[in-house]
Amino acid sequence: MDSTITIYCKNTHTYHEVPRGISLIQLKDLLGIQLQYPIIAAHVNYKVENLDFLLYKPKDVEFLDASSPSGMRVYVRTLSMVLACAVNELFPEMDLRVEHPISKGYYCTLQWHQNKEEAPEDEKEPPVVTKEMIQAIKERMLQIVAENRPIYEEEKQTKVVMQMFAEKYNNESSIFETLGNPYCRYFRMGDFIDYYSNVLLPSSGYVTLFDVLPFKDGMLVRIPNRKNPLILEDSIQQEKMFSIFQEYNRWNKLLRINNVSDFNVACNAKKSFEMIKLAEALHEKKIAQTADMIAEKRPKIVFISGPSSSGKTTFSKRLQIQLLVDGIKPEVLSMDDYFVNRVDTPKDENGQLDFETVNAVDLPFFRQQMHDLLDGKEVALPTFDFTIGERVFKGRKLKLQKDSVLVIEGLHALNPCVLPDVDKSLTFKIFVSALTTINIDNHNWIPTTDIRLLRRIVRDYKYRNFSARETIARCPSVIRGEQKWVYPFQEEADVMFNSALIFEFAVLKRHAEPILAEVPKFCEEYTEAHRLLKFLQYFVPIPEKEIPPTSFLREFVGGSSFRY
């Protein structure tokens, strides 16, 4: 066997003969690779690997820093392990739970250890997290970082790993049952062991930038800025978003479902139909309550906004029904019909058509039509023909009646520049998103963007003839547009609605896996496809026959009774 292998470094666009068995960190030093920010990990044949990964065969290698999505995930996962270790050393009778992202950081709580055998009525009140406790945790984290403790990735028989985690964490071994593999990987830092869904940094010393602050009943872990990881993200106020997360977390606790393993146990116990009915009933109740609020306020315009694949269209259709029940006649308009003709669409910094910018909408024409409608005039409504990329008129006309309300749905509907001179008392604003409220386990959260990305992959493949590769390739520009044009206005909403369903991943799994499997292993998009395929392995599939035809999920997987 040759003692050397050929490596192609994508950072330098060069081939190199290197010793077989060389680690990525050794390769980095050998080639003198330097990036704008400290190197965090690498793509090896488009899969994320840690810097201790050994190379035995010819590979394509691309080193990553924290400004890349994959690199930032590795950094934050490692930060989570340092945090969990600090909590374990200071408060061994408690468990850390990374609840969800908020305010450009992560909201975390502490819980008492609880055995699987404990009944719901035996559940203890959560511990009071004081400022002194949080300061102690932060200082211990800084100490762990200063000690530069090595982080080892280890693998043993699943039954052995389950026993190790059961002895240390009481109920934290169930995630390994979910995976169903004969061997399981876990991570060790000194005597502390933990499970993470993907790779970590080689040691705690890499995690040099973070902060931990008191937040609500827990703490907020601040992380590096995604564009400039040498500084921390600026915290922002997201009170309404936090309230939505907490509301759904309370519902999950009533169902005794906090993590994926709880969900899978319930599904295996034939309780998936019950979950579907409860989740759908919650959605219907929230939409009915929103309609009642509108009926009480009697605005002239209802704006519905939200990021891509959040379910804005289904929400507007279901709200329309509830408004009719309240004696209000809704006239639903889509801002997509007010796009400028494609030849006039602005371009982004890369010279590509930018459909996410508010300037892709013909604002003067839109404003004129809205003012005419509010003045009692009849207008000829446009329809945007996406096939030819032009606005057309098909004879649809509209004149508002006394009991009418305009319901305007669109990406930019909450942006104040859309109708700047309309009295706020005449408007009602709704923000729709899909906020994941279930975690893999206490230390592994599910990014809120994943549910929308999987929805979009399934919908685009089924209805728009786009491959998963094409949808994933467009993702960065979509996310940039949302961060610039959508999220800054979400807290201005009168109502925030979460369109996610607790059982959704288990249904999307059946549809998404074969689509993602078509992504070639030799392209950039394979990194994301591979990550999503690994993620979907955590869920047991469930049948969708009990999902009603008005469900938000039907907009993406098919079978809806609404026309889109």
Question: What CA–CA distance (Å, rounded) separates 312 from 306?
Answer: 7
Output 95 or 258, whichever has higher pLDDT. Answer: 95
In a domain, 562, yes or no: no
Identify the top-confidence range among 167-171, 245-249, 458-462. 458-462
The answer to whether residues 264 and 222 belong to one domain is no
Among 182, 212, 236, residue at a domain's last position: 236
At 285 the pLDDT is 96
Is residue 438 within 8 A of residue 258, CB to CB? The reply is: yes
pLDDT given at position 121: 46
Query: Do 11 and 107 share a domain, yes or no?
Result: no
Residue 564 lies in a domain: no
Final residue of a structural domain among 236, 268, 286 = 236
| Confidence class for position 116, pLDDT limits 50, 70, 90 | low
Decide if 241 is inside a domain.
no
The answer to whether residue 1 scores a pLDDT higher than 70 is no
Structural domain includes residue 243: no
Kindly state the average pLDDT of the residues 79-99. Answer: 96
Give 184's Cβ-side CA count (13 Å radius). Answer: 25
* Domain identity same for 45 and 86: no
Q: Which 3-state string (H, E, C) describes 255-318? A: CCCCEHHHHHHHHHCCCHHHHHHHHHHHHHHHHHHHHHHHHHHCCCEEEEECCCCCCHHHHHHH
Q: Please check whether residues 441 and 508 belong to one and the same domain.
A: yes
User: Residue 386: is its pLDDT beyond 90?
Assistant: no
| Strands 427-433 vs 495-498: parallel, antiparallel or unpaired | parallel
Shared-domain flag, residues 103 and 226: yes
Q: What is the pLDDT of residues 361-372, one digit of tens each?
A: 999 999 999 999
Q: What is the pLDDT of residue 6?
A: 97
Q: Under 8 Å CB-to-CB from 458, ≥6 apart: which residues?
A: 508, 511, 512, 515, 556, 557
What is the three-class DSSP state of 2? coil
Q: Which of 236, 259, 281 is the last residue of a domain?
A: 236
Do 325 and 450 belong together in one domain?
A: yes
pLDDT, greater one: 150 or 563:
150
Quickly tell me which residue has 């649809």 as its tokens: 396
pLDDT given for residue 122 in this prediction: 52
**Residue 216: which residues within 8 A CB-CB, separation 6 or more?**
107, 242
Predicted confidence band at 319 (pLDDT cuts at 50, 70, 90)? very high
Which of the residue ranges 4-18, 24-38, 111-125, 453-467 would you say has the lowest mean pLDDT? 111-125
Rounded to an integer, the average pLDDT of 424-434 is 95
pLDDT category of residue 74 using cuts at 50, 70 and 90:
very high
Amino acid at 428: F
- 120 inside domain: yes
Which amino acid is it at 313? Answer: T
| 209-236 average pLDDT score | 96
Domain count, the chain: 3
- If one compares 208 and 436, the residue with the highest pLDDT of the two is 208
| 55 and 200 assigned to the same domain | no
The yes-or-no verdict on residue 390 having pLDDT over 70 is yes
Contacts of 430 (CB under 8 A, 6+ apart): 290, 302, 303, 304, 305, 315, 319, 493, 494, 495, 496, 497
Least confident of 101-115, 116-130, 382-396, 542-556: 116-130
What would the mean pLDDT of 279-302 be, rounded to a whole number?
96
pLDDT for the residue numbered 196 = 94
Residue 173, pLDDT score: 53
Whole-prediction pTM: 0.92
Please check whether residues 216 and 365 belong to one and the same domain: no
Q: What average pLDDT score do residues 241-248 get?
A: 91
**How far is CA 462 from each of CA 89, 387, 458, 555, rounded to the nearest angstrom?**
50, 17, 6, 11
Return the CATH number at 144. 3.30.980.10
Q: Is residue 95 part of a domain?
A: yes
* CATH number of the domain within which 390 lies: 3.40.50.300
Which of 177 and 341 is assigned the larger pLDDT? 341
**Mean pLDDT over the full length of the chain:** 93
In contact, 174 and 268? CB cutoff 8 Å: no
Provide the strand spans (E) within 480-561. Answer: 495-498
Q: Are residues 336 and 421 in the same domain?
A: yes
**Selected residue with higher pLDDT from 545 and 79:** 79
Question: pLDDT tens digit string along 159-173?
Answer: 999 888 888 776 555
Rounded Cα–Cα distance for residues 253 and 497 (Å): 19
- What does the pLDDT read at residue 258? 83
| Position 78 pLDDT exceeds 60 | yes
Q: Cα dihedral angle (478, 484, 486, 488), rounded to 10 degrees?
A: 150
Identify the helix (H) or strand (E) that includes residue 106. strand 105-112
Q: 259 - beta bridge partners?
A: 439
Do 304 and 327 lie in a common domain?
A: yes
Q: What does the alpha-carbon distance between residue 76 and residue 200 come to, in Å, rounded to a whole number?
A: 9
Residue 8 belongs to domain spanning:
4-30+41-60
**Any long-range contacts for 378-386 (C-beta under 8 Å, 24+ apart)?**
381/333, 381/337, 382/337, 382/338, 383/337, 384/336, 384/337, 384/338, 384/339
Q: Is residue 524 part of a domain?
A: yes
Q: pLDDT category, 294, cuts 50, 70, 90?
A: very high
Mean pLDDT of 143-170: 91
* Residue 120 pLDDT greater than 70, yes or no: no
Residue 420: phi, psi to the nearest 5?
A: -70, -25
Q: Is the pLDDT of residue 119 over 70?
A: no
> Do 476 and 544 share a structural domain?
yes
Q: Looking at the structure, do residues 166 and 204 belong to the same domain, yes or no? A: yes
209 belongs to a structural domain: yes
